[in-house]
Amino acid sequence: MKHFYANYVKRGADIVLSVILLVLLSPVLLTAILLLFIINHGQVFFLQERPGLNGELFHIIKLKTMKEDISSDGVQLTDEQRLTKLGHFLRASSIDELPQLWNVLRGDMSLIGPRPLLKEYLPLYNAYQARRHEVRPGITGWAQVHGRNDISWQRKFELDVWYVDHLTLQTDFKIILLTISHVIQHTAMADSEADVTPFSQIT
């Protein structure tokens, strides 16, 4: 039953739920896009290569929450300095993650799974840590509802691999409920590399 859900039901559910969410949340997404278009002078989306299923790279899509401002000497300002007030709100409410529903429809991602990390980390994983790529990455996941950036890298990988080994309808349903609870409490579910120590610096 586990493999039937993982291999067949989960993908179908991703497609159906993503379409429903895009329709229901389209007013919110379109409003955010319009505001970002004005504030960021036409730059609305942030694209970045991330490893997905089996470590294959894809372009993750987010709303652009930071400006490309540089200092007077030509050095890019810090993430905190470039983060706009609107961007902060979009991150806190997880609205900046809504474009990833398109990634789900394309098959790059799932609604639920280990968060896709930076491609620079790929050569650093050991065999155990690399198991997180045995399933599609998700917009939210088991590690995100159990501490997100407040937990260590080791614990995060343990939670990711636990999800790979316990991928069931019941697990996904529990993650959805916990994610909704966190979003209501304005605890963003997705990743922000600016908020954590890079994996390469602690291995």
Instruction: Report yes or no on 101 lying in a domain.
Output: yes
Which of 4-8, 11-15, 146-150 is the least confident region?
Answer: 146-150
Instruction: Report yes or no on 130 lying in a domain.
Output: yes
Average pLDDT in the chain: 86
Give the chain's largest Cα–Cα span.
60
118 vs 78, residue with greater confidence: 118
Instruction: Report yes or no on 203 lying in a domain.
Output: no
Question: Could you identify the residue written with the tokens 């968060």?
Answer: 115
Q: What is the mean pLDDT of residues 23-51?
A: 94
Q: Among residues 199, 176, 190, which one has the least CA distance to residue 17?
A: 176
Instruction: Count Cβ atoms below 10 Å from residue 3 Cβ, excluding itself.
Output: 8
Supply 130's token pair.
């690399």
Instruction: Report yes or no on 202 lying in a domain.
Output: no
Instruction: Report yes or no on 201 lying in a domain.
Output: no
pTM (2 d.p.): 0.85
Domain of 157 in residue numbering reads as 2-194
- Does residue 182 surpass a pLDDT of 50? yes
* N- to C-terminal Cα separation, the chain: 37
- Does residue 188 surpass a pLDDT of 90? no
Nearest-5° Cα angle at 202, 179 to 145: 10
CA distance 137 to 70: 33
- Does residue 178 surpass a pLDDT of 70? yes
Using one digit for the tens of pLDDT, what is the confidence trace for 127-167?
A: 999 999 999 999 999 999 987 777 889 999 999 999 999 99
Using one digit for the tens of pLDDT, what is the confidence trace for 79-135?
A: 676 788 888 899 888 899 999 999 999 999 999 999 999 999 999 999 999 999 999
- State the pLDDT at residue 6: 84
- State the pLDDT at residue 93: 84
Instruction: Report yes or no on 199 lying in a domain.
Output: no
Reported residue count of the chain is: 203
- State the pLDDT at residue 200: 63
Pairing state between β 45-51 and 138-140: unpaired
CA distance 192 to 88: 12
Supply 13's token pair.
């559910």
- Does residue 193 surpass a pLDDT of 60? no
- State the pLDDT at residue 106: 95
- Does residue 194 surpass a pLDDT of 50? no
Per-residue pLDDT band at 66 (split at 50, 70, 90): confident
Instruction: Report yes or no on 59 lying in a domain.
Output: yes
Instruction: Report yes or no on 200 lying in a domain.
Output: no
- Does residue 53 surpass a pLDDT of 60? yes
CA distance 135 to 126: 17
Domains in the chain: how many in total? 1
